[in-house]
Structure 1
Amino acid sequence: MTQRANVQQIDEYQLEGAYTDLNRLVGLHRFSGDLRLTKHHPGAAAQAGEWKTRFRGRGIDFEEVRLYQPGDDIRSIDWRVTARSQKTHTRVYREEKERPVILAADMRSPMFFGSQNCFKSVLAAALTSCLAWCSLANRDRVGGLVFGDYSHRDIRPRRSKHNVLELIRQLDAYSHLLTSPCPPRMEQPRSLSDLLETLVRICKPGTAVFIASDFHDFDESCRKRLYQLARHVEVTLFLIVDPLEEKLPARGQFWITNGVRRQRLSDSSSHGWVLSQRIEKLEQACGPLGVCLHRFSTGDHLLSGMHRLYGRRNSPMSSNQPRES
């Protein structure tokens, strides 16, 4: 049964800290009833899900009447239109069916940073968990890809609560593997291009793919991988940022630390410029491919942002959106 949260629960849910809290990630299921990744009504087929597939067949939703084409099912011929026009026409339907959903979370070391509320890795894990619960509530098959510096965990799509919980456990485990500074290793850490290449390999046509990352190493190789991926699947990117990346305080000298070493920053203008360049590069890559790009900040309220994108009408979120801090 889909659960709905009350206004107080929504308003009080705030991410915090450098590491994920497993219970809080699991607790996001309370809000799945207030969020919906699609706007379609469920189908009546055996594998009824919330996504409208691009694959056409005898389904529940009539789409159009068009000229008969070789290979069309003769049972779908519209005899009235055929008699009136003296040309064979067929009725085309769009079937609603389950759709696999792959949720990819970047849990590499550059995500282990934050200046407000929580680290970027915590926000990415919570966002991914929230999407997982919403997908399960939509009766779709949920899978995931949790990507670390030197390893990844691939969870194949299944329509089960167990699969969602396994994804959340992996998100929590990879979050707690992050340390600062990173222990030295001989091998080269994985890149964003490696993550996208893995998605190209494991995602079947028709899959909905959601990727949460700061995209700090998005380059030409990534753009090519994204093109390969978007040709066959529906891709949504979530850019995870921190307010300190967008704008440092007033000009001056500042000290930052990773818990071991300290470094002085003396110029605030260049840091915001780097982020704006990254966003511009992502937008230029996403636009021609029809890829959606959304930005989430550690300084924002997660559920408020999710509601703006996927909120149901007449939900507690609609009547009283959580405050942002």
Structure 2
Amino acid sequence: MSAALPSLEADGVTQVALSELLALRARVGRMTLPTQVSRASRAGQQSSRLYGRGMDYAESRVYQRGDDVRRLDWRLTARSGKLHTKLFQEEREGRLLILLDTHASMRFGTRTRFKSVQAARAAAWAAWAAVKGAERVGLMGFGTRDELLAPRAGARGALAVCGALAAWGNRSADADEEPLSAALQRAMRTVHGASRVLLITDGACCDETARRALVELSRRARLGVLAVVDPLEVAPTPEGDYPVEHGGVRAQLHIHGERQRHWLPGMLGAGHARLAALCRATGVACRTVGTTGDPFDAVAALLGARSGR
């Protein structure tokens, strides 16, 4: 098998398992996404609702000869005493663009799975939920993967995203760094027509200049941020001795006392703390998910998804 292709034998712990991403389709079930309002600028600076393909109600006016009687606005007619007709405009198809952090910091995990694997699971679920809601879905990698998958409709769109997630997550890559501000600026050049943007990151790439880009992107589309964290980054470290290895050198890390117990998460979780503070300051919706549980509730909250009957 080519090295460029995802491995079907991936363990789903340190490597992204394509089979698991494909199986997530069943988890979507009757999940649906709510009506969206486009924030993209266009003539007249008016928003249009995004349901998928079809027609969207615009306004009502007094009935004119030749109007389709099936489109009479009976409520307004009853209130005014004059026949009124509903006018419709063509709806635009909703689009979800997933921004996936592929920095080396994502390939880390002390419990259950790597952050990169959890991020891929969250992205795949979002993709399946989007196509379930008749939205196109696309994927943009940043960090070690400067790649873009243009939004596509239907199951083909979600399948393409799943394939890219597995391929990106299981290939070695150069450790190039891309600050969050640069990634968001690049996303704004490709976000045209997207009604939603889901950013998935651990926050380690969050830089001081990301605030302006985050605000601007949130003006163009409904933006949600999913912060993926390892338990070691957010909770005090239990006392004890921990074997560590870096660059082939092994050592013992001794954690004793309250100060040391809070030192490690303070250092490892600094990026997540910056990201959370930035989202609070800018009013951008943010949810945090660990590596040990399911990301589905957090993603559903960010997408506004709901279960059907």
How far 1:95 sits from its partner (Å)? Answer: 7.4
The answer (yes or no) to whether the contact 1:56–1:92 under 8 Å persists in 2 is no
From 111, 114, 125, the counterpart of 2:109: 114
How far 1:94 sits from its partner (Å)? Answer: 8.9
Q: Give yes or no for the alignment of 1:140 onto 2:135.
A: yes
Q: Give yes or no for the alignment of 1:281 onto 2:271.
A: no
The answer (yes or no) to whether the contact 2:100–2:141 under 8 Å persists in 1 is yes
| Counterparts of residues 26-175 of structure 1 (less than 5 Å) | 26-36=22-32, 38-40=33-35, 51-53=36-38, 54-55=47-48, 97-149=92-144, 151-175=145-169
The answer (yes or no) to whether the contact 1:241–1:298 under 8 Å persists in 2 is yes
Partner residue of 1:47? none
Partner residue of 1:25? 21
Distance in 2 separating the partners of 1:224 and 1:305: 25
| Structure 1 residues 157 and 205: alpha-carbon distance in aligned structure 2, compared to 1, 3 A threshold | closer
| Structure 1 residues 146 and 276: alpha-carbon distance in aligned structure 2, compared to 1, 3 A threshold | closer
How far 1:197 sits from its partner (Å)? Answer: 1.7
Return the TM-score normalized by structure 1: 0.69
Deviations 1:33-91, CA, capped at 9 Å, x for gaps: 2433x235xxxxxxxxxx3443279x9676889xxxxxxxxxx999979989xxxxx98
Q: Give yes or no for the alignment of 1:226 onto 2:226.
A: no
Distance in 2 separating the partners of 1:286 and 1:94: 35
Partner residue of 1:300? 293
Q: Give yes or no for the alignment of 1:251 onto 2:251.
A: no
From 193, 210, 213, the counterpart of 2:198: 210
| Counterparts of residues 228-243 of structure 1 (less than 5 Å) | 228-243=216-231
How far 1:268 sits from its partner (Å)? Answer: 2.3
> How many corresponding residue pairs?
269
Distance in 2 separating the partners of 1:265 and 1:17: 26
The answer (yes or no) to whether the contact 1:106–1:212 under 8 Å persists in 2 is yes
Distance in 2 separating the partners of 1:100 and 1:305: 19
Which amino acid is the alignment partner of residue 131 of structure 1? A
- Contiguous gaps of at least 5 residues in structure 2: 1-10, 39-46, 61-71
| Structure 1 residues 60 and 176: alpha-carbon distance in aligned structure 2, compared to 1, 3 A threshold | closer
Identity fraction in percent: 23
Classify the secondary structure of the residue corresponding to 2:24: helix
**Please, what is the CA RMSD of the aligned residues?**
3.7
Which amino acid is the alignment partner of residue 158 of structure 2? V
The answer (yes or no) to whether the contact 2:204–2:271 under 8 Å persists in 1 is yes
Which amino acid is the alignment partner of residue 103 of structure 1? I
| Structure 1 residues 60 and 171: alpha-carbon distance in aligned structure 2, compared to 1, 3 A threshold | closer
Q: Give yes or no for the alignment of 1:189 onto 2:184.
A: no
